[in-house]
Amino acid sequence: DAVIAAFESNEGAANIMYPFILKAKDLPRDGAQLWIAYFEDDEQVPFVLSCTKGVLGNYPVFIFTTKPPTERKPCHITQPLELLAHTLRASVAPERVFAVFSCEAITREFARIWADLTHIAIGSEYYKATFSYCTAATFTLSSGLRPLPEGRDLTIWLGPANESHTAKVAELCQKFAATSEPYVLTRERALLEAETLISKKEVWVHMIQEGEDGEPDIASIVAVTRKSGRVSAITKVFTNPRWRALGCAERLLRRVCRDLLVEKDRIVLYVGVENSAARLYQRVGFQGLAGGDEVEGVETWLELGFDKQRVELGFW
């Protein structure tokens, strides 16, 4: 109960693991799913670590904290993270921990501790991203949305993907993964991901057709794979290079956000700190992506990998 209370106290930041733990009761008890909570003297839970497995393989270690940014200096976090690391080391083989993802200060300190404990060196910086959110209050009207060009006879349709879209969704999943080293996908694994997303109704498509005789194609996809009581996460946005510069990603993202905000209070996402798509998300209403003053609840998250020669790479 204390762990769930910690997640619910900051459901947005907890999105990286809270939705998964809600599903855990339906998962086989085969030892593949591990959560470690750190309890303070008053029974509050300021840190939760997960080491879990998804359809396509093991996830990185995720660490959630209720500690605000002002309480993430080493003097605040080193001792709890050391206890989490030692407990994790006693529970899994060192090669299982191929990466760690959390808010930046937590990631850097845990990675240092883990490297000292296991003698597996810190490797590459896999992902540095801004954690942002959109609510009904920040969601913007689409008056500035780019219109479809005249003279190309384009027909569009937006909605949840169905089984007939599987092959094309898989193709875009594979192309998306190719931009997300080291988590690339073979064609077969991309097909498995597409089948999973469609069967769970977690992916929307922007269909497009040029001319009456043109073949219908998927211009963009948006995936929403982590949902809890009041929060959903956008986890994949990708546009087929053939259909770029037509506003397809923004058009579809607005549709998905509009639909989600009927039932959810907040939509969250991570956007790479050097990803030009941040401007798109900003136009839609995601906060803290324009620079300037800090926005509460918007912060930098970091994924650090460990020596690839000594770990077994997973996928997320």
* Angle 227-5-96 from CA coordinates, rounded to 5°: 65
**Domain residue limits at 180:** 140-260
| CATH code where residue 245 lies | 3.40.630.30
Cis peptide bond prior to 182, omega within 30° of 0? yes
Model confidence over 100-140: pLDDT tens digits?
Answer: 999 999 999 999 999 999 999 999 999 999 999 999 999 99
Q: Which residue bears the tokens 């591990």?
A: 34
Residue 194 in any domain: the answer is yes
CA angle, 159 as apex, 189 and 283 as ends, to 5°?
A: 95
Do the domain assignments include residue 285?
A: no
Laid out side by side, the sheet with 236-239 consists of 154-160, 203-210, 217-223, 236-239
Residue 122 is predicted with a pLDDT of 99
Q: Are residues 146 and 114 part of one domain?
A: no
What is the reported pLDDT for 242?
Answer: 96
Please state, as a whole number, how many other Cβ atoms lie within 10 Å of the Cβ of residue 37. Answer: 16
**Helix 187-199 vs helix 166-178: crossing angle, to nearest 10:** 120
Q: Are residues 8 and 121 in the same domain?
A: yes
- CATH number for 45: 3.40.630
Residues 67 and 172 occupy one common structural domain: no
Domain for residue 277, yes or no? no
C-alpha distances out from residue 223 to 7, 170, 206, 232, 241, Å = 22, 12, 12, 10, 18
pLDDT given at position 143: 67
Phi, psi of 224 (to 5 degrees): -130, 95
Same domain, 119 and 168: no
Q: Residues 97, 88: contact at Cβ < 8 Å? A: yes
Q: Are residues 222 and 179 in the same domain?
A: yes
Q: Which residues of the chain have pLDDT under 50?
A: none
Residue 146's pLDDT is 82
Supply the pLDDT for residue 145: 80
Please provide residue 272's backbone torsions phi and psi, each rounded to the nearest 5 degrees: -50, 140
Instruction: Please give the Cα distance from 269 to 236 (Å, whole number).
Output: 9
